Amino acid sequence: MRPAGERINLSLLNAARELVTDEQAPTLMELALHAQVSFQSARDNVPKMKRHGMLRIVRTRRVAYRNRPVAEYAPCQPATPATENAGADLGAVLRAWA
């Protein structure tokens, strides 16, 4: 099922986290396919995500469907338990403070 509009960035970011390896990172088309969003939505959102520091270009790769090399994208910060639970930790601190 296709994600809602405000969740497209999150879906693309999760797709990048799942598809990136040491040898290869996903292209724009691979991100769109894995996140189940339209290519146009990915094409609109990935440059914004790159500008805001969510994704970065790690290298380029030749593909069969294009004459020029395409960019491979990777998340700027890997998902770690510390960053995923940061909101929960803040909530615990605020509850203890109150």
Do 49 and 7 contact (CB within 8 A), yes or no?
Answer: no
What pTM does this model have? 0.72
Q: What confidence tens digit (pLDDT) does each residue in 33-52 have?
A: 999 999 999 999 999 999 98
Do 74 and 28 contact (CB within 8 A), yes or no?
Answer: no
Q: Which of 93, 59, 54 is CA-nearest to residue 75?
A: 54
- DSSP state letters, 35-61: HT--HHHHHHHHHHHHHTTSEEEEEEE
Q: What confidence tens digit (pLDDT) does each residue in 7-24 have?
A: 899 999 999 999 999 999
Do 21 and 54 contact (CB within 8 A), yes or no?
Answer: no
Q: Which domains does the chain have, with CATH numbers?
A: 5-97 (1.10.10.10)
